[in-house]
Amino acid sequence: SQELEQSPQSLIVQEGKNLTINCTSSKTLYGLYWYKQKYGEGLIFLMMLQKGGEEKSHEKITAKLDEKKQQSSLHITASQPSHAGIYLCGAAGGYNKLIFGAGTRLAVHP
Amino acid sequence: GAGVSQTPSNKVTEKGKYVELRCDPISGHTALYWYRQSLGQGPEFLIYFQGTGAADDSGLPNDRFFAVRPEGSVSTLKIQRTERGDSAVYLCASSLTAPVNEQFFGPGTRLTVL
């Protein structure tokens, strides 16, 4: 079965700093989803990547999919306290479900 | 709001009791998913509905867990003879169709089994 490993598990940064979160799959990625979760809330969809080499950006968040390496990275530029939360990567685990990594917990200190 | 809603938001029960968790998907979404998230982990797939039928229930941990979606909209996850290990956040998601595309998640139901 497919597994996703996220690194780092947790991250504390100063406001304004850049950061990167990685997601590595045990199998070839055919679709990779990034979600953000705040404590006690559901998952908020950020981006979906499907093609090798694809890169998408939304505001200060950029995600890339490197299909050859079975990896995706999420990069945040000039982090803000509003970026704090848990970032989850999910892979299409078949026709109908997502398989998630354990998440990366991000704290941004003013 | 037109998002996915789940009730109750919190449920505390005693070991051995029966519980029902409800999910109201986004109107018009034919695909509905249930996931379970334990503390410090990512969501784990439980079951997927396409319309009224459970198309994939491979993630249900055992026969104490059952889910229905009788009219193709609202879904109920039912847990019999609850155990302390069932304590988790149960998340519901819906999407327009399958195959997998953007899934919209509800806020979850936090289940605590004492």
Name the closest residue on chain B to residue A34, using Cα atoms. B102
Average pLDDT of chain A is 92
Asked if residues A40 and B107 have their Cβ atoms less than 8 Å apart, the reply is yes
Q: Which of B78, B100, B107 is nearest to B31 (CA)?
A: B100
Name every chain B residue with its beta carbon within 8 A of the beta carbon of A99.
45
Contact between B42 and A94 using a beta-carbon 8 Å cutoff: no
pLDDT tens, residue by residue, B8-67: 999 999 999 999 999 999 999 999 999 999 998 999 999 999 989 998 999 999 999 999
Closest Cα in chain A, distance from residue B49 (Å): 9
In contact, A10 and A25? CB cutoff 8 Å: no
Contacts of A31 in chain B (CB under 8 A): 100
Torsion angle defined by CA atoms of residues B52, B74, B100 and B19, in that order, rounded to the nearest 10 degrees: -100
The CA distance from A15 to B53, in Å, is 48
Helix, strand or coil, per DSSP, at residue B99 = coil
CB contact under 8 A, A97 and B4: no
Q: Strand pairing of B104-105 and B88-95? A: antiparallel
Mutation target among B36, B41, B45 for the A interface, most CBs of A within 10 A: B45
What pLDDT does residue B100 have? 60
Taking a C-beta distance cutoff of 8 angstroms, is the pair A36, A44 a contact? Answer: yes
B12-21 core/surface letters (b: 16 or more CB in 10 A; e: else): ebeeeeebeb
Least confident of A40-44, A99-103, B32-36, B98-102: B98-102
State pLDDT tens for residues A9-61: 999 999 999 999 999 999 888 889 999 999 778 899 999 998 888 999 988 99
pLDDT of residue B97: 74
Nearest to A77 by CA among A57, A88, A58, A61: A61
Closest CB to B98 among A44, A45, A96: A96
Q: How far is it, in rounded angstroms, from Cα B33 to Cα B75?
A: 9
A34 touches chain B (CB under 8 A): no
B108 to chain A: which residues are within 8 Å by CB? 40-42
A96–B105: do the CB atoms touch at under 8 Å? no
**DSSP type of residue B74:** -
